[in-house]
Amino acid sequence: MRKPRKRSFADLVSENKRQILKDQAAMEKIEARLEQKHLNKAE
């Protein structure tokens, strides 16, 4: 039996990005956080 191949950091990042893009609630939470951050900088 073969050892599972270790994933590179780039592979993990791209997989995480795909999962977040599929998850609408996570996207809305991120967008709200970014919007709040931009509003705070504008003040």
What pLDDT is stored for residue 36 in this prediction?
Answer: 93
Q: How confident is the model at residue 1 (pLDDT cuts 50, 70, 90)?
A: low
Instruction: Compute the distance between CA of residue 5 and CA of residue 16 in angstroms, rounded to an integer.
Output: 18
Residues 6+ apart with CB under 8 A from 27: 20, 21
- pTM exceeds 0.75: no
Q: What is the pLDDT of residues 22-32, one digit of tens each?
A: 999 988 999 99
Tokens at 15, concatenated: 């997989």
Mean pLDDT of 3-25: 89
Reported confidence tier of residue 16, pLDDT bands at 50, 70, 90: very high
Measuring CA to CA, which residue among 31, 27, 29, 7 is closest to residue 19?
27
Mean pLDDT of 4-33: 90
